[in-house]
Amino acid sequence: MRSTVKLFEPPCQRPVELRGRHANCLMRVWWRTPRTIRCPVHRVIVGDRLPINAEWQAVALGTPDTGGADNGSTTCNTDNLALDVMATGSRSACVSNVGAFDMVGNVWEWVADWVPLSTDCPGWGLFSDDFMCLAGASTTDGLGALIRGGSFINGSSAGVFAVAGLVPSRTDSLVGSPGFRAAH
């Protein structure tokens, strides 16, 4: 069965296909929020779920990594030039090989995978300048839910390889306001 990746539009509107659509990310959500959204106008669509990490990576493939070179209008929203999240699709050059907008920058995105909660962010070394916060597993703080892509405040650390394990009920200066996409 092939997954369809969708993006929820705030305020809690019907999910729409990503290809060619312009929508905003639903943000400021905890990891469990996508499962518990109750929309006043539309029912929650049964079967929608967070994408697994591998699905997110497949959809993000080909998204330009413009961290540190955000031009403020067409490239991925990574350098905080707009001082906020931009409407998904409004940056015409921030699109993946399959037509998904804003997989890099804008907001960190929850995926369904869990990892031991990380205690260090060693980075990728020479491989990439994207965030890599999956090291030094905590033995006291429980599990971390994965987030991907980086946000508008992360500059060159945002990108398709940006990844961190985060306590699902917490946001901090690293992630700001994580959002999500839904797979069906």
| Domains defined along the chain, listed by start | 1-183 (3.90.1580)
**Mean pLDDT taken over the chain:** 70
pLDDT of residue 27: 43
Question: What is the percent of the chain where pLDDT is above 70?
Answer: 64
> What is the pLDDT averaged over residues 141-159?
82
Q: Are 63 and 101 in contact (CB under 8 A)?
A: no
Strand locations in the chain (E): 5-7, 16-17, 26-27, 109-116, 132-133, 143-148, 163-166, 179-180, 182-183
Q: In the prediction, which pLDDT does 81 show?
A: 84
Q: Is 164 exposed, middle or buried (0-12, 13-18, 19+ CB in 10 A)?
A: buried
Q: Which two tokens stand for residue 90?
A: 């409004």
- pLDDT in the model for residue 142: 67
pLDDT band at 93 (very low <50, low <70, confident <90, very high): very high
Classify residue 52 by its DSSP letter: P
How far apart are alpha carbons 33 and 38 in whole angstroms?
Answer: 10
pLDDT at residue 26, as a whole number:
46
pLDDT of residue 83: 77
Question: Does position 41 have pLDDT exceeding 60, yes or no?
Answer: no
* 103-121 burial: b if 16+ Cβ within 10 Å, else e: bbbbbbbbbbbebbbbeee
Q: Who wins on pLDDT, 31 or 131?
A: 131
How much is the pTM? Answer: 0.69
